[in-house]
Amino acid sequence: MNKYIFKFNEKDEKPKYIQLSEYIISLIENKKIGEGEKLPPIRKYAKELGVNNDTIVAAYKKLVLLGYAYQKMGSGTYCKRRGKTKNFKSDYSRIIKDRLNNKDKKVYIDFVGEGFNNEYFPVEKFKKCINEVIDRDGINALTSYDTTGYSGLRSNISKVFWNGEVKEEDILILSGAQQGIDVIAKVLLNPGDKVVVEKPTYGGALYAFTSRRSSILEIDMESDGGNLVELEKILKGNKIKAMYLMSYFQNPTGVSYSKEKKEKLLELAEKYDFYIIEDDYLSELIYDKKEYITIKKLDVYDRVIYIKSFSKIFAPGIRLGYMILPKGIKDSVESSKISTDVLTSSLMQRTLDNYISKGYWIGYIEELRNHYKDMYYMMINLLEENLSKYIKFHKPNGGLVIYCEILDSRISSRKLFNYCLNKEILITPAVLFYNNYRIGDKYFRLSFSSVKEDEMKKGIICLREAFEELYEELGVY
């Protein structure tokens, strides 16, 4: 028990339980306590240190709150070594899943979810479209398929979303955007090939590229898109196959590329011979009057692989998206997609085609945009009123997330996450989006897609209270 002996500083303004918890954390981080090692029994430890049992209880609760320990009912408190992103990612996924499934019987305010509020999904209209398709096509709605996608849907995508500028035969229907990224990685990348991504970026893309054993190079995000000065330096010293980016309201930062940067990117792609994988994340949700245009629409070099998901903006369960391909890789990508997933749901494709044909899509998007525009401005106002002392944040003028930077370097996003969890609110620490967790620990993401107005107000106040407690612990008032 010698390593646990601790002498309290009576002159320190910090409560004894905080002094003790910080000491045990130092033992954990310096590997003087092993993973899963049982901490001293409360009564015995209190007697050893000359304090009451409540001090030990409070210290252990603090360790659990900060993710450095866990408790077994009737057994005691055990060490859990933290600090690595990989461990936190797995813990985070488990925690979010458990909390959203209500396993601890508490109701959490969800600033994590990226899905849409179910209240706005047009169930009756969609059901009508399904029934009409089954009445019209019969068993063919379930059994007939085209390996590149239902012709009617591809034709509608061309007409409604691209004004006929993209040919139907250049459109490939997908089972969601992630499948598109996976297929492109499979076609373009061999082990050791280099791909550029934004820093931070979407974890699903990182996984697709690393699974191909590719070398990932990163460029920082700026207020108008990726840092192209950094990109050109990389291009001058490396042969890259592709660059993956989100042109609108990038996840997690919410940043959109300026038209100037889009044009410059295309010039660089042509000059240095690489493809741009454009993941059009949420271009439908634009809240200001600024002109937005996809990189694909500016592409005169045939360098852009455009990927779009219907699942994100419409309904996750339909698992539909599409890809527009450059001619140079069109056949290879189509063949790879077929070998990966022979058939994307024929019924869902035909139903979505019918839904778009009836004009329902445009009306739905307009209603959705108006709702989330109101939620966006409410979130901005609440953050400015309650948290300007603690954070600064980017105003994306669209999308569903606000990316926040913690002003005090002593407070990590992982620590904030645990404090918020204790107040029954869920946030996303940005360590999940970085290879280097130390950079990501400065940031966190708030999504307003799944909360209601009263929940948002309550949640932001709770977030402020979490910061107040953290500042008090640091002795900052």
Q: What is the DSSP-derived secondary structure letter of residue 431? A: G
Residue 296: what pLDDT? 96
What's the rounded mean pLDDT across residues 53-58? 88
Q: d(Cα 474, Cα 349) in Å, to the nearest integer?
A: 55
CATH code given to domain 2-79:
1.10.10.10
| Mean pLDDT for the chain overall | 88
Q: pLDDT tier at 477 (50, 70, 90 boundaries)?
A: low
Query: pLDDT tens for residues 309-348?
Result: 988 777 767 789 999 999 999 999 988 887 766 567 889 9
CATH code given to domain 123-358:
3.40.640.10
**Per-domain residue ranges for the chain?**
2-79, 85-112+363-474, 123-358
Q: Are 306 and 298 in contact (CB under 8 A)?
A: no
Query: pLDDT tens for residues 79-128?
Result: 876 545 556 776 777 777 777 677 666 788 999 987 666 777 888 999 99
Residue 12: what pLDDT? 77
Q: What is the DSSP-derived secondary structure letter of residue 248? A: S
| Residue 93 or 270, more confident | 270
Residue 341: what pLDDT? 67
Q: d(Cα 395, Cα 379) in Å, to the nearest integer?
A: 10
Residue 474: what pLDDT? 82
Residue 8: what pLDDT? 87
Q: Are 212 and 189 in contact (CB under 8 A)?
A: yes
Quote helix, strand, coil % in the chain, to nearest 5.
Answer: 50, 15, 35
Q: Which fold has domain 85-112+363-474?
A: Aspartate Aminotransferase, domain 1 (3.90.1150)
Query: pLDDT tens for residues 397-432?
Result: 999 999 999 999 889 998 999 899 889 999 999 988
| Amino acid (one-letter) located at 234 | I
Residue 355: what pLDDT? 94
Query: pLDDT tens for residues 119-158?
Result: 778 889 999 999 999 999 898 888 777 788 999 999 999 9
Q: pLDDT tier at 282 (50, 70, 90 boundaries)?
A: confident
- Identify the helix (H) or strand (E) that includes residue 217: strand 215-222
